[in-house]
């Protein structure tokens, strides 16, 4: 499969990259690892006029940690490097799990944390070769007027399937976004638009440069569980991340967070997790949380593998399992944490 023709530039600064991207609007495309872009290009889903290589920019490759500040990861750090970093392994094992759950070892070695967060949404009616798209009327994501996933829908229902976002959401990550001359820091949830057509809220010329994760609270733990048919390669059919902080006796939940991926147009942070605060994690409490997640999940048949009904049922199973496993990791760490 040949790639479309494009101009290629290697800016030496973030400012220059932002400028070129802003100038070219939708015709410009920033490239980090490139793993999410190459197939879109090969299939002519995206045809950039100019490609701006972020790998040529210095200072986007750091992994820094301090107990006071937490973790700072440059957007161009590859998932493989992130997963194998000793501090990440020790302090944020859920992040290592999520990075190792992405694609294959090769895709982890190429794909970056920033690129993964900005991954485009997926839809079986959109992610197709040009020839197999011919038989379908152009959908919203193709600048058409129909949706093949939800008949009659006036909006695009492309599903957000990133593996890293749910974990970073429960870890309360913030992202630094450079634009023009300046940069701003936002909670990660604000990176997402909930628009299937364009899942991030980044405007042309805006670039994610750094991810900041606060240091883990004492007696806390997190986990990422991924449901897919094969243990490798596949995107998630469902991904669940949870984080819990327990009291010193290990019985009362002091803080809880749950996030889902692959079941909506955006990664979902389940706000009802706050209801578990100050409570014992009894079956009733955990089931109520799982039920809240279940209600907000909206899987469609635009992701191949198993039926949307099955995936929705699995939300409950995975949330409950993730909470149980997170409690175990916290209590196993014991008083040491």
Partner 1 sequence: MKRVITLTINGETHELLVKTNETLLDVLRDYLGLVGTKKGCDAGACGACTVIIDGEPVLSCMTLAIRCQNRNIMTIEGLAQNGELHPLQKSAIEHNAVQCGFCTPGWLLSAKVLLDNNPTPTREDVRSSIAGNLCRCTGYQSIEESILAVAEGKVK
**According to CB under 8 A, which residues from 60 to 99 bind partner 1?**
78, 80
Q: Which is nearer to partner 1, 6 or 331 (CB)?
A: 6
Residue 274 binds partner 1 (CB under 8 A): no
- Render 199-250 in DSSP notation, one character per residue: -B-PPTTEEEEEEEEPPPPTTEEEEEEEE-SSSSSPPPSEEEEEEEEE-TTS
CB of 256 to partner 1, least distance (A): 31
* Per-residue binder mask for partner 1 (CB under 8 A), 169-208, x = binder: ----------------------------------------
Q: Which of 5, 68, 143, 334 binds partner 1 (CB under 8 A)?
A: 5
CB of 2 to partner 1, least distance (A): 7
- Cβ partners under 8 Å of residue 75, min gap 6: 32, 54, 60, 112, 113, 114, 115, 207, 208, 209, 210, 211
CB of 109 to partner 1, least distance (A): 4
CB of 25 to partner 1, least distance (A): 20
The residues that bridge with 245 in the sheet, in sequence order, are 220, 255
Rounded Cα gap, residues 147 and 141, in angstroms: 8
CB of 110 to partner 1, least distance (A): 6
Residue 142 binds partner 1 (CB under 8 A): no
Give the gyration radius of the chain's Cα atoms: 20
Rounded Cα gap, residues 194 and 153, in angstroms: 15
Phi-psi region of 59 (alpha: psi -120 to 50; beta: other; left: phi over 0): left
CB of 8 to partner 1, least distance (A): 4
Beta strands in the chain (DSSP E): 7-9, 28-31, 50-53, 63-66, 70-74, 174-179, 182-187, 206-213, 220-227, 238-246, 252-261, 268-269, 279-280
Q: Which is nearer to partner 1, 23 or 291 (CB)?
A: 23
CB of 180 to partner 1, least distance (A): 26
* Per-residue binder mask for partner 1 (CB under 8 A), 7-26, x = binder: xx------------------
Residue 232 binds partner 1 (CB under 8 A): yes
- Render 79-96 in DSSP notation, one character per residue: HHHHHH-HHHHHH-HHHH
**According to CB under 8 A, which residues from 28 to 57 bind partner 1?**
31, 34-35, 38-39, 42, 51, 53, 55
Residue 6 binds partner 1 (CB under 8 A): yes
Q: Is residue 14 helix, strand or coil?
A: helix
Q: Which of 233, 271, 277, 332 binds partner 1 (CB under 8 A)?
A: 233
E strand or H helix at 318: helix 308-333
Residue 2 binds partner 1 (CB under 8 A): yes
Q: Which is nearer to partner 1, 53 or 254 (CB)?
A: 53
Residue 277 binds partner 1 (CB under 8 A): no
Four-residue CA torsion sign, 83, 86, 87, 90 = positive
Q: Which residues bind partner 1 (CB under 8 A)?
A: 1-8, 31, 34-35, 38-39, 42, 51, 53, 55, 78, 80, 100, 103-107, 109-110, 231-233
């Amino acid at each position: 499969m040949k790639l479309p023709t494009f101009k290629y530039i290697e800016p030496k600064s973030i400012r220059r990259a932002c400028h070129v991207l802003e100038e070219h609007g939708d015709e410009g495309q920033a490239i980090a690892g490139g793993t999410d872009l190459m197939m879109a290009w090969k299939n002519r889903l995206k045809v950039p006029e100019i490609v701006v290589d972020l790998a040529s920019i210095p200072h986007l490759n750091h992994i820094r940690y301090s107990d006071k500040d937490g973790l700072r990861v440059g957007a161009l750090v590859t998932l493989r490097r992130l997963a194998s970093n000793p501090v990440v392994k020790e302090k944020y094992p859920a992040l290592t799990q999520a990075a190792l759950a992405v694609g294959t070892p090769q895709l982890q070695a190429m794909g970056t944390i920033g690129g993964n967060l900005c991954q485009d949404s997926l839809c079986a009616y959109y992610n197709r070769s040009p020839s197999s798209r011919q038989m379908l009327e152009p959908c919203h994501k193709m600048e058409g007027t129909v949706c093949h996933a939800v008949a009659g829908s006036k909006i695009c229902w492309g599903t957000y399937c990133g593996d890293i976002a749910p974990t970073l959401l429960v870890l309360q990550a913030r992202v630094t976004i450079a634009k023009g001359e300046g940069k701003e820091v936002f909670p990660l949830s604000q990176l997402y638009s909930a628009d299937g057509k364009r899942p991030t809220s980044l405007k042309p010329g805006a670039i994610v440069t750094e991810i900041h994760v606060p240091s883990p609270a004492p007696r806390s733990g997190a986990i990422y569980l991924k449901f897919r048919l094969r243990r490798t390669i596949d995107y998630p059919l469902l991904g669940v991340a949870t984080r819990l902080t327990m009291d010193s006796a290990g019985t009362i939940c002091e803080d809880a967070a749950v996030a889902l991926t692959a079941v909506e147009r955006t990664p979902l942070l389940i706000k009802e997790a706050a209801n578990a605060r100050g409570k014992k994690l009894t079956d009733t409490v955990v089931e109520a949380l799982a039920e809240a997640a279940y209600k907000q999940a909206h899987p469609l048949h635009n992701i191949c593998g198993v039926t949307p009904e099955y995936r929705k049922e699995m939300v409950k199973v995975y949330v409950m399992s993730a909470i149980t496993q997170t409690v175990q990791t916290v209590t196993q760490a014991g008083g040491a944490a």
